[in-house]
Amino acid sequence: MSEMIDDDELGRLGRAIPPKPSEEARARALDAAMRAFDEKIAPASQGSAVGARLRSKALMLWRTMMSRKLLTTPAIAGLVALPIAGYATFYLIETSPFAVSFDSGGRSGPVSEPAPRQPAPPTTVQPKPTELKAEPQVGRQDMEAVQKRANESDALATLQTASPPPGVIAADRSRSMAPAGSMGEGGAMAPPMMGLDATIPPEENRDRLAEFATNPVKSALENPVSTFSIDVDTASYAFVRRSLKEGFLPQADTVRVEEMVNYFPYDWKGPTEAGTPFNSTVTVMPTPWNADTKLMHVAIKGFDLQPAEKPRANLVFLIDVSGSMESADKLPLLKSSFRLLVNQMTEQDTVSIVTYAGNAGTVLEPTKGSDKAKILAALDRLESGGSTAGEAGLREAYRLAEASFIQGGVNRVMLATDGDFNVGQSDDDDLKRLIEAKRESGVFLSVLGFGRGNLNDRMMQEIAQNGNGQAAYIDTLAEAEKVLVQEAGSTLFPIAKDVKIQVEFNPEKIAEYRLIGYETRALNREDFNNDRVDAGEIGSGHSVTAIYEITPKGSPATVIDDLRYGQAATDSAAGVANAGEYAFVKIRYKLPTEDASKLITTPVTGANEIASFDAAGTDQRFSVAVAAFGQKLRGADQTDGFGYDRIAEIATAARGADPFGYRAEFLSLVRLASALDGKR
């Protein structure tokens, strides 16, 4: 019975008389064809906005008809979809960079000059009977109505593509990449156009990274002192995670091991009062990847301010709205991220918004944190476009922060960008000097990085380090929630600044040592006691970890030969002071409002040592697993024979409490890296 109905339906469609085009319709069609021809062959002027491609016009026409519910009948939908699908196929073949030509012998080769196209004979394509269902009768009036609305939709699409407002092109581009068969506007099913975008070559990767060499093994006899600045940045871990989830191993210079280790919260023992900003705990344990060396694990925990103790905050959001920020993982994600932070603000706090593109401008004057509707409305209005006047934006943001300065509070500029500074002061050293001068006013700077392909990671690291702030990379809204909500205290509220660590190793006990990570934070030995030298900052509740691999004297794991003319023999009568110590750890810091540093010292002796790795605490073992993973991704020689399966085994056993799933996610990254690397 259904087949008879389908045959009858086809018969009605076959007998239907198509409407005759009017002269006005002919003129519109000719005009549209000429515009399309001009668009295809005319070169785009340098600096001009890129117009919509022909396939975008076809897609826009489809969406317009869907949104107006013109194609509510499958029969009509099929008739209209076939020409659009045919046109899309023609465009795909015409513009594909992988197009090939065939000679008379069937051999293929790249296309050089396109052959003149001959007009194709008209072809009538009938849908299969099983693709149609019984619907109300379609007559001439219905067909005329469809034709009229299609003409109106074509005119609307032409107007929309003629002069799109800022932000519209980016939005359309993101929608055009929806999977085939996804729901379009108005709940209608969008046509499967994914194959068109698959022919477009990927954008050039212009990420700028700071190159650095992995820390070498050093002789405790020749170089007994190691000095570095503390680091609480986490950008590297998020960037590595994104790389692995997108299916490729990260570049070595994106892997900063200390940032991967410090990404996770640890339950180190912290101080009980604000007068002591942090505690340090040192543990010596066997190395899981080398039975002949040991690990010296230095754990620092900052004092955790309670909500009632948190100071007032004066925040300036400095937001990059340049043309490079248009993709979904940049400005749209940025706006959603800051919404999370705004919802945490109180009446005592102040928020301002400065944007920069071709030039800088103030979008929101200082506003109470309780006026959330006003702040969020200002965020929602942001659109991308133009070049990147980063220097002008920084100066305007600092001006607003200084104008609303809260004495005894938190005064911070929060720069959100993909790192592109191409107008004004774009040299990293010049930006560094500008920020160094401004931090003396008491206004600190934090950096949130977004997107990839244009990320200036090198610049982000430089200005965050010199602005007494933190650098984080936001690849998902979940990461934004971690940085700006769960860890808001440590991100926004400093408890100590210019924190430096210096470790002196006893050559009578330790032959060699190697600092794992912190390559970009190295300081000269004399910098430790120089209060003019800038260093890292610790926020409320921050946990910081540093790990040394040490080689005991006499161990077969030594890689540096003894000096022929080494240290003179020690006077046996006088002995050696502190001969039983492995090392001496010194931490120097300043309170946020002070300029003179304070000193904390910790001798490391046999009392700090534990007999087996399994006897170490859960957090200590997990942090070592992360350190091993980071070294392996960097291709460090020390972990070359240490498999991903062993890293996963240690991390699984030390997973412990994982309320937010960070450690479970780490295990999935280890499995991904193992699969991509082809090693177990």
Are 163 and 17 in a shared domain? yes
Res 193: pLDDT: 41
Res 308: pLDDT: 74
Res 307: pLDDT: 76
Q: What is the distance between the alpha carbons of residues 531 and 595, in angstroms, rounded to a whole number?
A: 7
Tell me if 540 sits within 8 A of 493, measured CB to CB: yes
Q: Domain for residue 172, yes or no?
A: yes
Are 319 and 302 in a shared domain? no
CA 161 to the chain's CA centroid? 31
Q: Domain for residue 569, yes or no?
A: no
Tens-digit pLDDT profile for residues 277-314: 889 999 999 999 999 999 999 999 999 888 777 889 99
Are 19 and 79 in a shared domain? yes
Last residue of a domain, one of 485, 505, 527: 485
Are 503 and 393 in a shared domain? no
Q: Domain for residue 567, yes or no?
A: no
CATH number for the domain harbouring residue 425:
3.40.50.410
Q: Domain for residue 59, yes or no?
A: yes
Q: Domain for residue 395, yes or no?
A: yes
Which residues does the chain have with pLDDT short of 70? 1-16, 18-21, 35-206, 358-359, 386-390, 420-428, 566-576
Task: Render 485-552 in DSSP notation, one character per residue.
Answer: IITHHHHH-EEEEEEEEEEEE-TTTEEEEEEES-GGGB--GGGGG-TTS--EEEETT-EEEEEEEEEE
Domain with 359, as residue range(s), is 311-485
Tell me if 236 sits within 8 A of 479, measured CB to CB: no
Are 478 and 504 in a shared domain? no
Residue 479 identity (one-letter amino acid): E
Terminus-to-terminus CA distance in the chain, angstroms? Answer: 61
Are 153 and 289 in a shared domain? no
The number of folded domains in the chain is 3
Res 205: pLDDT: 64
Are 315 and 302 in a shared domain? no
Res 27: pLDDT: 77
Of 446, 447, 450, the residue nearest 476 (C-alpha): 450
Are 412 and 300 in a shared domain? no
Are 230 and 254 in a shared domain? yes
Last residue of a domain, one of 453, 485, 517: 485
Q: What is the distance between the alpha carbons of residues 93 and 626, in angstroms, rounded to a whole number?
A: 48
Q: Classify each residue of 626-652 as buried b or exposed e, where b means 16 or more C-beta atoms within 10 Å of its C-beta.
A: bbbbbbbbbebebbeebbbebbbebbe
Q: What is the distance between the alpha carbons of residues 103 and 667, in angstroms, rounded to a whole number?
A: 53
Res 172: pLDDT: 37
Q: Domain for residue 200, yes or no?
A: no
Of 315, 496, 536, the residue nearest 409 (C-alpha): 315
Q: What is the distance between the alpha carbons of residues 259 and 449, in angstroms, rounded to a whole number?
A: 15
Q: Domain for residue 398, yes or no?
A: yes
Q: Domain for residue 198, yes or no?
A: no
CATH number for the domain harbouring residue 263:
2.60.40.1230
3-state secondary structure 115-183: CCCCCCCCCCCCCCHHHCCCCCCCCHHHHHHHHHHHHHHHHHHHHHHHCCCCCHHHHHHHHHCCCCCCE
Are 168 and 37 in a shared domain? yes
Are 137 and 38 in a shared domain? yes
Res 7: pLDDT: 57
Are 285 and 327 in a shared domain? no
Tell me if 588 sits within 8 A of 502, measured CB to CB: yes
